[in-house]
Amino acid sequence: MLAVVCPGQGSQTPGMLAPWLELPGTADLLDSFSAAAGTDLVTHGTTSDADTIRDTAVAQPLIVASSLVSLRTILDGRDASEVVDVTAGHSVGELSAAAVAGVLDDAGAVGLVSHRARAMAEAAAAAESGMSAVVGGDPDEVLASIEAAGLFPANVNGGGQVVAAGGLAELKALAEQPPARARVIPLQVAGAFHTPYMESARAAFEQVARGWLATDPRLPLLSDADGATYDTLAPGSHGHGTAADVLSRLAAQVTAPVRWDLCQATLAERGVTAILELAPGGVLAGLAKRSLKGVELVAVKSPDDVEAARDLVARHSVVGGAGTAEVTA
């Protein structure tokens, strides 16, 4: 059984779109994404420096665009519903996953995430805040230490990693007195995402998301809120849940913790045998390596990884017929 997962903010690197632009059709696709985003994603993905693409308003559409370029290259004209058994995305990657599931078209996903990114950048600028990864330690003790420091567990990622978020003074204090057997690592982000610090962004994004063009998921899509699939969130509904529910949760996600640990638990419960992480891949595959033992992993970082991704799809896709599905160049 094949899961396609989509990375979140922080996975971007300078020049990451350059090798994809060597492939036929990618330039036109990225031009359409740039128009939807209202920003030059080709420049940001090829020549902009690390500081420029760290800007939330740039990073989020750039990451979603990268994920979807890699997906379309791997599938080569096939619909994701023909080969993907389940999909999920971490934070901003949840919008990429919504496109994988058919809730948003590709340009629509990039356009919608651009509204999210601008709203979150404005909220971050309004108050000094940040995020730090807390790696190691007893999970309960880590969460208790974060709460005691006046911070929020913005990401519970599994694999011994929790991301604390909040005021800079509180983050500094946590780093100076970390939980037992844990390290506190400051993250290069603009603000305390997935916390009440983002309330103004949530309210602004909700107004946009509520009226965004969307369709019901065509394959199982996990929610970052609790790892549940949308069909279980809407009992009695047909198919894989409703577009309205997805858009509502995408808006709520701006201030709510990302429970990637629960998403991984759901993948394990569903019997996933392989995980394909779309570009710019690596972070989620690393978490899965620690939390989902025995699951085959491919993280797509460049076109050099496309053939390995296609091979993974062919051997593990249940909906496509494991061992018989073929994705040709």
> Cβ–Cβ contacts within 10 Å for residue 82, how many?
16
The catalytic position among 48, 91, 132, 291 is 91
The catalytic position among 194, 223, 291, 317 is 194
Q: Which residues contact 309 (CB under 8 A, 6 or more apart)?
A: 70, 74, 276, 298, 300
Per-residue tokens: 163: 């991301």
Per-residue tokens: 138: 């007893």
Examine the residue annotation and report whether 96 is marked as an active-site residue of this protein.
Answer: no
Examine the residue annotation and report whether 90 is marked as an active-site residue of this protein.
Answer: no
**Catalytic center residues:** 91, 194
